[in-house]
Amino acid sequence: DTEVTQTPKHLVMGMTNKKSLKCEQHMGHRAMYWYKQKAKKPPELMFVYSYEKLSINESVPSRFSPECPNSSLLNLHLHALQPEDSALYLCASSQSAQGASSDTQYFGPGTRLTVL
């Protein structure tokens, strides 16, 4: 089973709201990722968790706050977002973050976020 699940599928929020995106995988993967994808652009890496520790933060604004409660779960907490943050937010997981050929990343279906 190579499934990564994400909830919700769609989210509309105002600029003053606080919301969370959730991601789950049961493949025993030890690396999990958050990406942001705008229309007609490739995914852009936001955060990498390796063995439940944040290992990469790609200079993401503090209004995005990741959390990894355990090895299967990854959350992205959102607060005071801007309309330009509207995008598809993708979660992915891989066996490890070492970058070997075996560390294929599997993506969830994404959360389509609209900030009004």
Partner 1 sequence: RKEVEQDPGPFNVPEGATVAFNCTYSNSASQSFFWYRQDCRKEPKLLMSVYSSGNEDGRFTAQLNRASQYISLLIRDSKLSDSATYLCVVNIISSGSARQLTFGSGTQLTVLP
The binder of partner 1 chosen from 19, 27, 95, 107 (CB under 8 A): 107
Q: How far is the CB of 103 from partner 1 (least distance, A)?
A: 7
CB nearer to partner 1: give 90 or 113: 90
What does the alpha-carbon distance between residue 92 and residue 34 come to, in Å, rounded to a whole number?
7
Find the binding residues for partner 1 in span 81-100 (CB under 8 A): 88, 90, 97-100
Cβ-proximal residues to 94 (8 Å cutoff; 6+ apart), any chain: 29, 31, 33, 103, 104, 105, 106
Q: Which of residues 23-82 bind partner 1 (CB under 8 A)?
A: 41-43, 45, 48, 50, 55-56
Distance from C-alpha of 73 to C-alpha of 92, rounded to nearest angstrom: 11
